[in-house]
Amino acid sequence: MNDMTPINPEVQASYNGKPFKVSRRGFLGASLGALVLGVTLPAARTRALAAAPASVSPGSRVAAFLEIRPDSTVLFRSAFIEGGQGIFTAMAQIVGEELDVDPANFVVEGAPPGPDYLLTGGGRFTGGSMSVRMSYDTMRKLGASARQMLLQAAATKLGVPASELSTEPGRVVHATSGRTVAYGEIADDAAKLPLPADVALRDRANFRWIGKPFARLDARDKSTGKAKYSIDQTIDGMLYAAVQHSPRLGGEPEALQNEADVQGMPGVHSIHRLPGAVAVVANSWWRARRAVEALQVNWTEAPSTASHPMPADFSSDAHMAKLKATSGDGVAFETEGDAAGTLAGAARVIEAVYDAPYLVHGQLEPPSALARWNEDGSLELWIPNQAPEMFQADAAKVAGIAPEKVIIHSPMLGGFFGRHFLYQTANPYPQAILLAKAVGRPIKLLWSREEEFLRDALRPMAAVRFRGGLDASGMPVALSAVAVGEGPTGRWFGRQPNKVDSSAVEGIAGKVYAIPNRRVGQIHVDDPAIIGFWRSVGHSMNDFFYETFFDEMADAGQQDPYELRLRLLAGSPRHKTLLEAVADLSGGWKRGPFAAEDGTRRARGVAMASPFGSEVATIAEVSLRDGEIAVHDVWVAIDPGSIVNPAIIEAQMNSAVALGLSSALLEEVVYVNGVPQARNYDGYQILTPDRMPRVHVRIVESGAPMGGIGEPGLPGVPPAVANALSVLAGERVRSLPMSKFDLKEVDG
């Protein structure tokens, strides 16, 4: 607890090309302990972490997370990064509940790298909709431990036994004498106490903040332009940089035909060759960008040693054709009963091939990196990231220094959806590190939207072959699915041959319907593109494939798709309840087509998904207007087991519906001759406000283990819409996005 020596670093500006001097001057001596640091500065945190015991039990050291300030407000360092999903507010609710501090009195920021924060299965990342569910118990204990220490300190101060004390938000109360002590007054003493071995947690029935629609802590700052993202960071003496990447990954810059002209452009400081890119450093970003885009660069062909070079003849169409033409059953991932045998003897067999395209993340904040080399040889980075330790390790390699000499700041993210994981060729910080070294000044590098759409790590392309077997009564008795393609988990965390990457099959495997004979297999085909995690990962397309094929089976067996789902969930009360909940929320299941009050002809589709530990049922209502698909309402019932903030869950469901619908209707990255055809939102359309449906949410708390929130709302949306559309169009939708279907002839 006393390992955080307060430090006040004075950062000296340098305009003469020298490294920056960081003077470290201890201040205020011993009167301020770890819990009462009035100012939190990066150097202090670095020191604190350097001093952390060799073996830290993540999430246990109060001082690594909490600072109670003299005014009794709390600075909390979150292991998870805020990017719109509301995690900072959720953390304040969870910790505040046990600490007994109103979450509104929390200031939350992203924690630096360090062993205390490895709360995601021994590592640390913000993703997989894991933040709350992986840390809930630990963070409650942390808050309770800090409260216990404050009680102890107050007991000493008041000269009464701790057993006579209780707390009210922000203060300790001695009921018999009527005396109170504000947390801020005793935080210093509390900081010196050992961590309590055992703490009691608050009874769920007495929760004041957990489970309540607590207002987001960042709502006002984000409504007034005060929230600071990576793109907004500035430091004295910095120069700006812009890059032009090789159009195809793997190419290196050769001759710069007009280097002298560009060097003479306004504000240009210097021109640089980087791995796979050229850069201009200038005194404003606009000047840097203008200059770098004026550079006429000859790019080499990728050397044979390049990893993932983009072939010159690569096209997404041809790759899709290849996936679809790849035959075989692949490696089995999930097997139940005898799918092949049952299919062979089934009364009826239906077959279909489904596919989904590449997608970009399209988060609205383009990636950036601010890099500064300090005089002591350390490197300081302000970068959008979902995994500080992984970025720290990689940055250290790029910089050629030890990881502990890399100081990572993780500002709020302007959206992420999986964009800010460590994808080596998709992150700007290696370029910023090299440029800052080369010019001896801090560098702020920003990728233009065009460079971002060229280098983003894409949701992989996929195709799935289904075969469904029905018995004589039209009930599905066998299902075989073969997914063809590559999953992002295998790409980035290592793929074992003959083992299926679960991120390629999740959402086809792990389905809840009682179809007795099933086999889900995968055929790995290398994806030539740089692929990554996209909100809800494999589920984002696999549940579309499966749930839409499910309706094909229902139609073939002449069964209502909702009723068939209910029948196949008869042995699974949690899912049956959820499906009935969404039907109820929508006013009772009706498939249509039916005439709406405005005279349009409408239909509804239903889908279920089991993503990231939560269960979701979704219904969408759709009509056609002049060949355009209009989605009017989406009803989402989600069962995450138990919850922390229903208002944030509702917001996340809205967000997931928007992104799911966007992907279903509009989005597609098209490659021709090795280059993406769209480099901005003009060519890559995303959901606009006029296409946004009403969203209705019901939260079902079944009490099952806590599941995720950020991603689970998405997977059900594309299939619910596709299933509704199929009713109107009279034909199945087996390929995304739906905007490529000509629906003009269909009667709206």
Partner 1 sequence: MELTINGTKHQVDIEPDTPLLWVLRDELAMTGTKYGCGLAQCGACTVLVDGQATRSCVTPVESVAGADIMTIEAVADDPVGQKVVEAWVANQVAQCGYCQSGQVMAATALLKQTPKPTDEDIAGAMVNLCRCGTYNAIAAAVRDAAQA
Residue from 410, 408, 384, 412 nearest 398 by CA? 408
Q: For residues 106 and 562, which CB has a smaller minimum distance to partner 1 in the complex?
A: 106
Collapsed DSSP state (helix, strand, coil) of residue 672 = strand
CB of 462 closer than 8 Å to CB of 410: no
Binding of partner 1 at residue 688 (CB under 8 A)?
Answer: yes
Binding mask 642-661 for partner 1 (x = CB under 8 A): -----x---xx-xxxxxx--
Residue from 343, 350, 406, 349 nearest 374 by CA? 406
CB of 432 closer than 8 Å to CB of 445: yes
85: partner contacted, choices partner 1, ligand FES, none (Cβ within 5-8 A by kind): partner 1
What residues numbered 284-303 form the site for partner 1, per CB under 8 A? 284-287
Q: Which two tokens stand for residue 459?
A: 């949701």
β-pair partners for 618: 607, 636
We find the least distance from the C-beta atom of residue 683 to ligand FES, in angstroms, to be: 14
177: partner contacted, choices ligand FES, partner 1, none (Cβ within 5-8 A by kind): none
**Are β-strands 368-373 and 601-609 bridged in parallel, bridged antiparallel, or unpaired?**
unpaired
538: partner contacted, choices ligand FES, partner 1, none (Cβ within 5-8 A by kind): none
- Measured at CB, which residue is nearest to ligand FES? 364
Distance from C-alpha of 25 to C-alpha of 8, rounded to nearest angstrom: 6
Q: In what order do the strands lie in the sheet with 476-485?
A: 331-336, 517-524, 476-485, 462-470, 348-356
Binding of partner 1 at residue 678 (CB under 8 A)?
Answer: no
Distance from C-alpha of 637 to C-alpha of 583, rounded to nearest angstrom: 9
Q: Which two tokens stand for residue 63?
A: 């001082």
Interface segment toward partner 1; rule CB under 8 A; list 34-42, 68-76, 279-287, 342-350: 279-287
> What is the DSSP secondary-structure string of 561-625?
HHHHHHHHTTT-HHHHHHHHHHHHHTTS-----EE-TTS-EEEEEEEEE--TT-EEEEEEEEEEE
Binding of partner 1 at residue 416 (CB under 8 A)?
Answer: yes
Binding of partner 1 at residue 625 (CB under 8 A)?
Answer: no
Residue from 612, 570, 569 nearest 704 by CA? 612
CB of 547 closer than 8 Å to CB of 608: yes
Q: For residues 154 and 446, which CB has a smaller minimum distance to ligand FES in the complex?
A: 446
Binding of partner 1 at residue 682 (CB under 8 A)?
Answer: yes
Q: For residues 55 and 223, which CB has a smaller minimum distance to ligand FES in the complex?
A: 223
Distance from C-alpha of 240 to C-alpha of 245, rounded to nearest angstrom: 17
Helix (H) or strand (E) holding 452: helix 449-455
We find the least distance from the C-beta atom of residue 387 to ligand FES, in angstroms, to be: 20
Binding of ligand FES at residue 219 (CB under 6 A)?
Answer: no
Q: Which two tokens stand for residue 571?
A: 């042995």
Collapsed DSSP state (helix, strand, coil) of residue 470 = strand
Binding of partner 1 at residue 1 (CB under 8 A)?
Answer: no
Q: At what angle do helices 131-158 and 183-191 cross, to 10 degrees?
A: 100
Binding of partner 1 at residue 55 (CB under 8 A)?
Answer: no
We find the least distance from the C-beta atom of residue 662 to ligand FES, in angstroms, to be: 12
Collapsed DSSP state (helix, strand, coil) of residue 469 = strand
Distance from C-alpha of 225 to C-alpha of 248, rounded to nearest angstrom: 37
Binding of partner 1 at residue 86 (CB under 8 A)?
Answer: yes
Say how many residues touch partner 1, by CB under 8 A: 62
CB of 346 closer than 8 Å to CB of 472: no
CB of 245 closer than 8 Å to CB of 277: yes
For partner 1, which residue of 168, 313, 626, 690 counts as binding (CB under 8 A)? 690
The end-to-end CA distance of the chain, in Å, is 68
629: partner contacted, choices ligand FES, partner 1, none (Cβ within 5-8 A by kind): none
For ligand FES, which residue of 184, 362, 415, 507 counts as binding (CB under 6 A)? 415
Distance from C-alpha of 476 to C-alpha of 329, rounded to nearest angstrom: 20
651: partner contacted, choices partner 1, ligand FES, none (Cβ within 5-8 A by kind): partner 1
Q: For residues 633 and 701, which CB has a smaller minimum distance to partner 1 in the complex?
A: 633
For partner 1, which residue of 177, 300, 307, 680 counts as binding (CB under 8 A)? 680
We find the least distance from the C-beta atom of residue 229 to partner 1, in angstroms, to be: 6
Interface segment toward partner 1; rule CB under 8 A; list 109-117, 213-221, 666-674, 698-706: 213-221
285: partner contacted, choices partner 1, ligand FES, none (Cβ within 5-8 A by kind): partner 1
Region label for 436, one of left (φ > 0), alpha (ψ between -120 and 50) or beta (otherwise): alpha
Q: For residues 84 and 128, which CB has a smaller minimum distance to ligand FES in the complex?
A: 84
For partner 1, which residue of 62, 443, 695, 743 counts as binding (CB under 8 A)? 695
Q: For residues 480 and 663, which CB has a smaller minimum distance to partner 1 in the complex?
A: 663
For partner 1, which residue of 150, 412, 515, 736 counts as binding (CB under 8 A)? 412
Binding of partner 1 at residue 15 (CB under 8 A)?
Answer: no
Binding mask 58-97 for ligand FES (x = CB under 6 A): --------------------------x-------------
**Are β-strands 66-68 and 7-11 bridged in parallel, bridged antiparallel, or unpaired?**
unpaired
Binding of ligand FES at residue 364 (CB under 6 A)?
Answer: yes
Binding mask 592-611 for partner 1 (x = CB under 8 A): --------------------
> What is the DSSP secondary-structure string of 157-203?
HHTS-GGGEEEETTEEEETTTTEEEEHHHHHHHHHTSPPPS--PPPP
We find the least distance from the C-beta atom of residue 48 to ligand FES, in angstroms, to be: 32
What amino acid is encoded at 51 in this protein? A
Residue from 607, 560, 352 nearest 468 by CA? 352
209: partner contacted, choices partner 1, ligand FES, none (Cβ within 5-8 A by kind): none
For partner 1, which residue of 98, 365, 552, 621 counts as binding (CB under 8 A)? 365
For partner 1, which residue of 1, 41, 227, 675 counts as binding (CB under 8 A)? 227
365: partner contacted, choices partner 1, ligand FES, none (Cβ within 5-8 A by kind): partner 1
Site residues (vs partner 1, CB under 8 A): 83-86, 215-216, 218-229, 231-232, 234, 240, 266, 284-287, 362-366, 412-417, 446, 448-449, 647, 651-652, 654-659, 662, 680-682, 686-690, 692, 694-695
Site residues (vs ligand FES, CB under 6 A): 84, 364, 415
